[in-house]
Amino acid sequence: MPAPLLDSFGRLHDNLRISVTDRCNIRCYYCMPEHAVEFVPRSEILSFEEIERFARIAVRLGITKLRLTGGEPLLRRDLAGLVARLGAIEGVRDLALTTNGVLLAGQAEALYRAGLRRINVHLDTLDRERFLSITRRDELGRILEGIEACRRLGFQPIKINAVAVKNLAEPDIVPLARFGRERGIEIRYIEFMPLDAQGIWDRDKVLLAGDIVATLSREICPLIEVPDQDPRAPASQYRFSDGIGSIGFIASVSQPFCLNCNRIRLTADGHLRYCLFALEEFGVKGLLRGGATDGEIEALIRSTVEKKWLGHEINQGRFTPPPRPMYSIGG
């Protein structure tokens, strides 16, 4: 049995996020510019065979959770095929997808048949005009259709990830929570992080999780923190006191959770990152395409985890944004 994937702080790593593309079919203003976005050439993007081989090696080292991300992962043709491949790897206990939902209605059935059950849909508002101003695309209708398709098929859990930007997201907080309560969908509010391509992030633009708890408790009913939560899960969980619905908060800025981090990330162009905010990354593609043995790839995974820092430095004076924006790392 190989030694567990521990970093120098003793954190066990069992969660691999796999970005399958940096391309996206919407343009969230807090993520990427509207025009002239430079994407990685297709030839530099890992193939499904390469992703599967890397995942198989990582699972042998103790990775049990895989999440597919992007850019927008449903832009990769036959993503359901990759889901089936990864789901068939012995040792994978949890397989999930994060999508913006625009192409979901047309692919939900194939993804479900391929074995996917957990899905997170990124959606900041239910208002068409506001959606248009945030994403610069008129796609809200298709996303809502996609969510309904997932409900009909029986995806569980379905979660909605909403980025909470201050002085923008406030009108959407309560409508989203009501939407989730009515449909048994967990809404996760994500604090705005300094990962945007245009450097617009500012601490004053972060709508804090605590403020959202106060708003929902006032406007709907009190939120109660769920006891005995998995400390390694990125979201802190709350339930409404009337028993209807739950809410999650990914409060990376105000309540960092790095001390229990269990995640590593593979970028679409084949780089391994030990942290979303890492200032260094390690090439995998060259090994995969250069005839490296599984052992050499294992060694790279281990050394990457061993080099992992304690956590992001957003709240420290020396914070430097990573050289890659969010869409080319993956959520």
- Residues within the interface to ligand SF4 (CB under 6 A): 252, 257-258, 261, 263, 275-277, 311-312
Contacts of 163 (CB under 8 A, 6+ apart): 28, 30, 122, 124, 169, 190, 192
Closer to ligand SF4 at the Cβ: 240 or 277? 277
Q: Which residues pair with 283 in a beta bridge?
A: 271
Closer to ligand SF4 at the Cβ: 111 or 258? 258
| CB of 158 vs ligand SF4, minimal distance in Å | 23
Closer to ligand SF4 at the Cβ: 155 or 277? 277
| CB of 286 vs ligand SF4, minimal distance in Å | 24
The crossing angle, in degrees rounded to 10, of helices 79-87 and 48-60 is 20
Closer to ligand SF4 at the Cβ: 57 or 276? 276
Find the farthest-apart pair of alpha carbons in the chain and give their distance in angstroms, rounded.
59
Closer to ligand SF4 at the Cβ: 63 or 75? 63
Query: What is the token pair recorded at 7?
Result: 């970093």
| CB of 252 vs ligand SF4, minimal distance in Å | 6
| Residue 276: Cβ-neighbour burial (10 angstroms; 0-12, 13-18, 19+) | buried
Helix (H/G/I), strand (E/B), else coil: 165:
strand
| CB of 308 vs ligand SF4, minimal distance in Å | 7
Cβ(326)–Cβ(84) below 8 Å: no
Q: In b/e form, how buried is each residue of 192-227, taking b as 16+ CB within 10 angstroms?
A: bbbbbbeeebeeebbbbbebbbebbeeebeebeeee
Q: Which residues pair with 188 in a beta bridge?
A: 161, 248
Could you give the CA distance from residue 51 to residue 120 in angstroms, rounded to a whole number? Answer: 21
Query: What is the token pair recorded at 207?
Result: 């709508």
| CB of 277 vs ligand SF4, minimal distance in Å | 5
Closer to ligand SF4 at the Cβ: 121 or 275? 275
| CB of 275 vs ligand SF4, minimal distance in Å | 3
Closer to ligand SF4 at the Cβ: 125 or 252? 252
- The verdict on whether omega for the bond into residue 71 sits within 30 degrees of 0, i.e. cis, is yes
| CB of 24 vs ligand SF4, minimal distance in Å | 21
